């Protein structure tokens, strides 16, 4: 009898913790996603190139991408997945998305390459800096959820 009560309580506690962390992860993903979207460079200080009837000024290496059409910025999505052993939150271009076309991150392939760089281009990171900027806020969200 005692183990049945213990098992029931353990399951109830696990579910409450999971629900609290799921809610916290959703909040954290929104915080990071908002930060990413608000820190793109409006006009870069790098090379200028014509884009239709206007000029595009690229961002410098190490700076977030400069907005040209806004497609990348508007395509950034976050997702939270509840797995058997935990909760996963993702924001931004995901290499899994590029490979499998999953509904997470962005459907703009160059987003990954801007973040990580290529053999011909230095990175223009926008996700890693957002995680760095929001780290304390995200930690606070989880601390509050698990009081």
pLDDT at residue 61 in the model: 93
Q: What is the mean pLDDT of residues 88-117?
A: 68
pLDDT at residue 139 in the model: 92
Q: What is the mean pLDDT of residues 33-60?
A: 88
pTM, 2 dp: 0.76
For residue 25, the SS3 value is helix
Q: How far is it, in rounded angstroms, from Cα 4 to Cα 6?
A: 5
């Amino acid at each position: 009898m005692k183990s049945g009560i213990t098992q029931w309580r353990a399951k109830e506690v696990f579910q409450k913790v999971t629900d609290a962390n799921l809610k916290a992860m959703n909040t954290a993903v929104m915080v990071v996603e908002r930060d990413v979207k608000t820190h793109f460079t409006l006009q870069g200080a790098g090379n200028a190139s014509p884009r239709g009837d206007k000029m595009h000024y690229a961002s410098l290496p190490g700076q977030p991408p400069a907005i040209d059409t806004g497609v990348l910025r508007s395509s950034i999505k976050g997702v939270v997945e509840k797995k058997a052993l935990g909760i996963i939150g993702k924001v931004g271009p995901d290499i899994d998305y590029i490979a499998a076309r999953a509904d997470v991150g962005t459907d703009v392939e160059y987003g990954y390459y801007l973040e990580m760089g290529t053999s011909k281009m230095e990175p223009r990171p926008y996700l890693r800096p957002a995680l760095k900027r929001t780290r304390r806020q995200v930690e606070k969200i989880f601390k509050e959820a698990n009081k």
